[in-house]
Chains A and B, each alone.
Chain A
Amino acid sequence: MSAPASSRAGGANEPKIALRGVCKAFDGAVVLEGLDLEIGTGESVAVIGCSGVGKSVMLKCLLGLLRPDAGSVTIDGAELSANRAAREAAMRRIGMLFQSAALFDSLPVWENVAFGLIQAQGMGRGEAREIAVETLAQVGLGPDAADLYPAALSGGMRKRVGLARAIATRPEIILFDEPTTGLDPIMADVINDLIVACVRELGATALTITHDMASARKIADRIAMIHDGAIIWQGPAAEIDSSGNEHVEQFINGRADGPIRLAVADGAHA
């Protein structure tokens, strides 16, 4: 069941995921401006940053859902924008938990979880359902949840189902978009624990974007901070409190005054 570890295109030092000089603007509004980020195999990295700074845009560039204006995105050394086949091949090795979970409303929970198994791997529905129920158990949901529809779930349950869907295909890379946003602190911690357990169990490479410091500290080996379209600081999670970067210090202490000016006033006459 484990992912093939030997089929890597690059050498031993090749990062699993590399974004180099990624730029992205929407109708002239620059969001990413030369963003560089490398993630090694088996590493868990958290990217922190203010709301609206472009964290989700970065993930979407990585997934090929948005095409960067410039720069390169490689997974295992293979350039994603090269062609559709490369992107599709990379997608099979990636699991993604969306900010809003993005569960399919028209399908029951178990089919949501088994979607990748049935559609991408062509597994039979019976077998896929068994695996889905097992995966749901892994995230703490009983078999009776399998036949519910997403509309009947609470926010925490939706996140768990989203997590189960992301790991059901046993991906080598898992991406988390604000996994704890909108949850109470206890449920947030439960999700953090689940993420740590799932990533460790799969031996996967993980990239989490968040503005929840507790979550970043818990999940990540390494933390990077994004500001003004680029990574302005990165280092081991343990060193975040002694970063010596005033942007980082303002962010982790949650102060309104400091070098980061939120566009609250600008919004009025934008």
Chain B
Amino acid sequence: MKTNPLQGIGHGVLALFGAVGRLALFALEATSHCVRPPLYPRLLLRQMVEIGFYSLPVVGLTGLFAGMVLALQSYTGFSRFSAESTIPTVVVLSITRELGPVLAGLMVAGRVGAAMAAEIGTMRVTEQIDALTTLSTNPHKYLIVPRLLGGFLMLPFLVLVADIIGVFGGYLVSIYKLGFNPEAYITNTFEFLEVMDVVSGLVKAAVFGYLIALMGCYHGFHSKGGAQGVGKATTNAVVTGAILVLVFNYVITEAFFAQ
């Protein structure tokens, strides 16, 4: 068969459209099951604990060091033109609007997205998903819905925690290393902070949580070919989850703040 470069491009484009279409159908089907009974509260609770509670250490540490380095880096830059007093504002705005949601999202994509893809992928290749169907249980409802809802509900909570710890990290460095006045720092932190700054970050978090879970479930659900296939699904879940976090971060920022 002749390989024409145009043919190659055509195949690539068609494959891309096919993949996006399949993903959209999967998302639509799974999401529609979120609002149709029966729901499984027990499974939802387990996912909320798995995603929300067990991600706390990693998300907390990420927030802490992000806030600390932000204060330090801003100080070395801003002191060149005597703008040190804006550091509390820079820290709190950067954390709540951008770094909190994005860093937490990336960490959770690694931790939770991978776990979901591996677990569901293993269930797929060992026929456990087929077994669910033969036991009159819809695998979308039983496996996918609790994870999507869990991600959607718990990421805002995690990001709120990351916001608080991040601001606290900036505070620690500013007070103990840079010699700021504690009361002034706290006053400055809240002076220019608006509700929208925090809310936009939490909206981002909810979207990221949904997307990360969607990627984990989608790649796991469609994995094939034994252990190798599950490994590939896990990698794809993390990579696509992380990329979607970054893309949607831009899209949501534009929706909220671009005039």
Contacts and interface: CB of A to CB of B under 8 A. Distances in A.
Interface of A: 60, 63-65, 88, 91-92, 94-96, 98-100, 102-106, 115-116, 119-120, 165, 169
A24 to B, nearest CB: 15
Interface string B108-134: 000000000001001100111011011
Nearest to B122: A105
Contacts of A115: 135, 137
6 pairs of A and B residues whose beta carbons are closest in the complex: A120-B136, A102-B127, A102-B131, A96-B134, A116-B135, A119-B137
A104 B131 contact: yes
B127 A98 contact: yes
A63 B119 CA distance: 24
B142 to A, nearest CB: 8
Given A63-B134, A105-B123, 9 more contacts: A60-B130, A63-B130, A64-B133, A98-B127, A102-B127, A116-B136, A119-B137, A119-B142, A120-B137
A98 B137 contact: no
B127 A100 contact: yes
Contact of A119 (B119, B127, B128, B135): B135
A89 to B, nearest CB: 9
Contact of B130 (A94, A98, A106, A116): A98
A100 B128 CA distance: 9
Interface in B135-170: 135-137, 142
Contacts of A60: 130
Contacts of A105: 122-123, 128
A92 B136 contact: yes
A116 B131 CA distance: 10
B128 A65 contact: no
B97 to A, nearest CB: 38
Contact of B128 (A92, A95, A96, A102): A102
B127 A99 contact: yes
B123 to A, nearest CB: 8
B12 to A, nearest CB: 19
Interface in B79-93: none
Contacts of A104: 123, 128, 131
Contacts of B126: 100, 102
A94 B135 CA distance: 8
Contacts of A95: 134
Contacts of B122: 105
